[in-house]
């Protein structure tokens, strides 16, 4: 019985330690359909861009409330400029080729930095191609 208690305590400690090592950072999206769509990353302030992004994926919310990856890149180092949708930055590898983004859908961009940090931004486009930021995943869902 004592061994079980010790094992449970070790598992709980490991879980707490893993949780303490994860954190979030800021991802800002900008642009419009028909023009460049850019994603910029920041640590604890929006004055200094974050350059250690390791992966980035843009997914679309489907009609059955799932997420379908529309573009995915991996293994970057020393990001020196915003990521532009569909343009693989130097040092990155394209995992999923970019698909066309369309108005009226909800998209999410998700990034990791390889140090336990992650970031996400939810966005969409109105019928005029302007970027919008829905308050919830339920707005502008699939058809």
In the chain (143 residues long), the average pLDDT of successive 10-residue segments reads 42 43 90 96 83 95 95 86 95 96 96 92 96 70 43
Does residue 5 lie within any of the structural domains?
no
75 lies in some domain: yes
> What is the residue range of 103's domain?
24-132
Q: Look at residue 103 and tell me if it is in a domain.
A: yes
Q: pLDDT value at position 138?
A: 52
Does some domain include residue 15?
no
pLDDT at position 4, please? Answer: 46
Question: In the prediction, which pLDDT does 7 show?
Answer: 38
pLDDT, position 126: 96
The SS3 call for residue 37 is strand
12 is a domain residue: no
- Answer whether residue 89 is part of any domain: yes
Would residue 106 count as lying in a domain?
Answer: yes
Q: Where are the beta strands (DSSP E) in 3-143?
A: 23-24, 26-31, 37-42, 55-61, 67-74, 83-84, 93-96, 106-112, 117-125, 131-132
Give residue 48's pLDDT: 83
Full-model pTM: 0.78
Number of domains in the chain: 1
Q: Is residue 143 part of a domain?
A: no
């Amino acid at each position: 019985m004592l061994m079980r208690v010790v094992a449970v305590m070790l598992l709980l400690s490991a879980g707490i330690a893993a949780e303490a090592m994860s954190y979030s950072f800021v991802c800002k999206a900008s642009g419009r359909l028909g023009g460049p769509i850019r994603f910029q990353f920041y640590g604890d302030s929006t004055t200094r861009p974050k350059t250690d992004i390791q992966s980035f994926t843009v997914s679309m919310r489907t009609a059955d409330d799932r997420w379908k990856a529309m573009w995915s890149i991996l293994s970057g180092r020393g990001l020196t400029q915003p990521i532009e949708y569909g343009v693989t930055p130097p040092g990155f590898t394209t995992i999923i080729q970019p698909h066309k983004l369309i108005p009226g859908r909800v998209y999410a961009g998700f990034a990791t930095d390889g140090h336990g940090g992650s970031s996400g931004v939810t966005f969409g486009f109105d019928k005029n191609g302007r970027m919008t930021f829905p308050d919830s995943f339920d707005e502008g869902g699939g058809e």
